[in-house]
Amino acid sequence: MHTRPQQAWAPAEPTPIDDDLAEQFTRMRALLGERRLVALTGAGISTDSGIPDYRSPGAPVRTPMTLEMFLSSPDFRRHYWARNHLGWRHMDAARPNDAHRALTALQREGRLLSVITQNVDMLHTKAGTRRVNELHGCYGRVRCLSCDWRISRHRLAELLDDLNPGFAERVRGAGAIEVAPDADAILSDTADFRMIDCPDCGGIVKPDIVYFGESVPRHRVAEAYSMVEEAEALLVVGSSLSVMSGLRFVRHAHRIGTPVVIVNRGITRGDDRATLKVDHLAGVVLPMLADSIGKGVSSALAH
């Protein structure tokens, strides 16, 4: 069994805090004032936790999982689950960074009402943030596509370890493994991996993650719209807004007159509707915001 040779992935170096950032931050702080916020977060908020993203400057080209690919054949699903059996462990081991903790601090200060996240990494929950709408699901749950039987990813890992003794150790011993933002690992030969079907109906089991080409459940979309409507400002963090699942909430906020502040490295599809754009790292800007409002990140770390 072989892995594709990879260099270790690391987040981009932080951009220095210069006069331009100081001016942008002053404008952001004045714009937000005492407004109550809802945050919309993307993969860029988690890069400092060691989880790569798809579209930030310098990110390698990745092909995200699509529903059509997953359903295409048993062989492909076996190949996918072999990769996920390793990749999910990397995501499960990830810990919240200062940007996640800053949002938690803002919530404890009464300034952040809720979070809508496009991420499946559960880092907002690990950071202690409440009212988190996981638009695209999370890596920690698995369900049957036919009867909706469910199992935790930890329990499934135990079952797969029993079916594939020594698999993880053999792969890790072959060299570095690249992990994608959806908990998928890049492997080549996975022909010996064994996967389970649903024990209740024999159907296909799938991570409770919305793949590309799959629709976000309607109840999550409706809840996210309600979150935007009850807030007095929308704070977008670490998302290029390249897909409509996130962009629609920026458009909705703009349509109803709610200020939109975007903190992201590089351009986004929502820039034309942003009241203010801060082109910088979430791990720099959000702790500054939390510290300027109240107890800040140090308070979140203490809990």
Q: What is the pTM of this model?
A: 0.84
Is residue 6, in this structure, part of any structural domain at all? no
Is residue 177, in this structure, part of any structural domain at all? yes
pLDDT at position 82 is 86
Is residue 4, in this structure, part of any structural domain at all? no
Active site residue 219: no
Catalytic residue of the set 2, 136, 154, 219: 136
Residue numbers belonging to the annotated binding site for Zn(2+): 144, 147, 198, 201
pLDDT at position 65 is 72
3-state secondary structure of 262: strand
pLDDT at position 76 is 85
Is residue 7, in this structure, part of any structural domain at all? no
Task: Tell me if 177 sits within 8 A of 185, measured CB to CB.
Answer: yes
Residue numbers belonging to the annotated binding site for NAD(+): 42-62, 118-121, 238-240, 264-266, 282
**Tokens 């999370």 sit on residue:** 138
Per-residue pLDDT tens listing for the chain (303 residues) = 232 333 333 444 545 555 688 889 999 999 998 999 999 999 999 999 988 765 555 555 556 678 898 999 898 898 889 888 887 888 899 999 999 999 999 999 999 999 999 999 999 999 999 999 999 999 999 999 999 999 999 999 999 999 999 887 776 654 444 555 555 555 556 678 899 999 999 999 999 999 888 899 999 999 999 999 999 999 999 999 998 999 999 999 999 999 999 999 989 999 999 999 999 999 999 999 999 987 666 555 555
Pick from 213, 215, 204: which is nearest to 146 by CA? 204
pLDDT at position 258 is 98
Is residue 74, in this structure, part of any structural domain at all? yes
3-state secondary structure of 176: coil
Burial 104-131 (b: 16+ CB within 10 A, else e): bbbbbeebbbbbbbbbbbbbbbebbbee
Residue numbers belonging to the annotated binding site: 42-62, 118-121, 144, 147, 198, 201, 238-240, 264-266, 282
Helices (H) and strands (E) in the chain, counts: 11, 9
pLDDT at position 18 is 57
Please give the Cα distance from 29 to 43 (Å, whole number): 24
pLDDT at position 12 is 46
Q: Considering its fold, how many domains does the chain have in total?
A: 1
Is residue 247, in this structure, part of any structural domain at all? yes
pLDDT at position 295 is 63
Is residue 284, in this structure, part of any structural domain at all? yes
Domain of residue 173, CATH code? 3.40.50.1220
Which secondary structure element, helix H or strand E, spans residue 293, and what is its range?
A: helix 282-293
Range of the domain at 188: 19-302
pLDDT at position 7 is 34
Is residue 10, in this structure, part of any structural domain at all? no
pLDDT at position 8 is 38
Judged on CB neighbours under 10 Å (0-12, 13-18, 19+), 139 is buried
DSSP symbol at 187: B
